[in-house]
Amino acid sequence: MNWNTYPDRDLLALDLADTLASSLRNALARNDRVSFAVPGGTSPGPVFDALSTVHLDWDRVDVMLTDERWVPETSERSNTALLRRTLLTGPAAAATLIPLRADTATPEESLDALSAAIAPLLPIDVLLVGMGADMHTASLFPGADRLEEALSSHAPVLLPMRAPGAPEPRVTLTAPVLRGAMDTHVVIMGAEKKAAIEQARHLTPAEAPVSVLLGDATIHYAD
């Protein structure tokens, strides 16, 4: 894995937005349409703010989340709402959002329809993921009920996930989908996450799910 360490979080956001824009442009030069998978949570907002202002052929970009919490968009925990607020605005509003949430009581009821929309867009051209201090990435949490299935090389595109560390059910892209991305970036902030990601390399995927995609990834870090 390669490290990019930034003097502060503002510079990280600007520089990472620039890096992602270059990667998207390169992919757009090769393909009619490009898939771009992004995390939710607290870390990526400023990156999305910066990236949303960049001019590129957003109308040829399919944007999807790496994972979603099974909450309505009115919830402050909705990753989709974060995306609409921060990334899918300005020039980037021309991108197509591929939903990871539908209006059913459980993720299981919508899984087939959500998966069918994602499958034709694989492999992911440009992937940005976040990571929790517990070394989860997307919604691949240590101790989650379907983690073993999601880490398998035969895993389906998308799985529901429930975990002790997650207050609501989730849906998540699985390990083979994340690992198959053409260009992978990880955004982390704070010393606790830096120590966690360094430790993750020496642990099993079940203990440290983020380790499955660190091989070719670039880590973007600021304190």
Ligand X SMILES: O=C1O[C@H](COP(=O)(O)O)[C@@H](O)[C@H](O)[C@H]1O
Among residues 210, 213, 209, 204, the alpha carbon closest in space to that of 182 is found at 213
Stretch that binds ligand X, among 23-31, 38-46, 102-110, 177-185 (CB under 6 A): 38-46
Q: Which residue is nearest to ligand X (CB)?
A: 41
Q: Tell me if 41 contacts ligand X by CB under 6 A.
A: yes
130 forms part of the interface with ligand X (CB under 6 A): yes
**Is the distance from CB of 86 to CB of 48 less than 8 angstroms?**
yes
Residue 66 or residue 110: which is nearer to ligand X going by CB?
Answer: 66
List b or e across 99-138, with b for residues whose CB sees 16 or more CB atoms inside 10 angstroms: ebbeeeeebeebbeebbeebeebeebbbbbbbbbebbbbb
Nearer to ligand X, 56 or 200 (CB): 200
Per DSSP, the three-state class of 93 is: helix
Beta strands 96-98 and 67-69 are unpaired
Q: Does 42 bind ligand X (CB under 6 A)?
A: yes
Query: Smallest distance, Å, CB 132 to ligand X?
Result: 4
Position 46 contacts ligand X (CB under 6 A)? no
CB of 32 to ligand X, least distance (A): 28
Member of 66, 86, 184, 211 binding ligand X (CB under 6 A): 66
Tell me whether residue 5 or residue 31 sits nearer to ligand X (CB atom): 5
Report the candidate in 163, 170, 172, 173 with the shortest Cα–Cα distance to residue 134: 163
Q: How far is the CB of 193 from ligand X (least distance, A)?
A: 7
Work out which of 12, 28, 40, 78 binds ligand X, going by CB under 6 A: 40
Residue 67, interface with ligand X (CB under 6 A)? yes
When asked if residue 107 is in the footprint of ligand X (CB under 6 A), the reply is: no
Rounded CA gap, 195 and 200, in Å? 9
Comparing CB distances to ligand X, the nearer of 28 and 80 is: 80
Do residues 126 and 36 touch, judged by C-beta distance below 8 A? yes
Q: Euclidean distance between the first and final Cα of the chain, in Å? A: 19
- For ligand X, the closer CB: 28 or 121: 121
Say if CB 169 and CB 70 are below 8 A apart. yes
Phi, psi angle pair for 4, to nearest 5° = -115, 110
Tell me whether residue 79 or residue 211 sits nearer to ligand X (CB atom).
79
Query: Using CB under 6 A as the criterion, which residues of the chain lie in contact with ligand X when the complex forms?
Result: 39-43, 66-67, 79, 129-132, 138-139
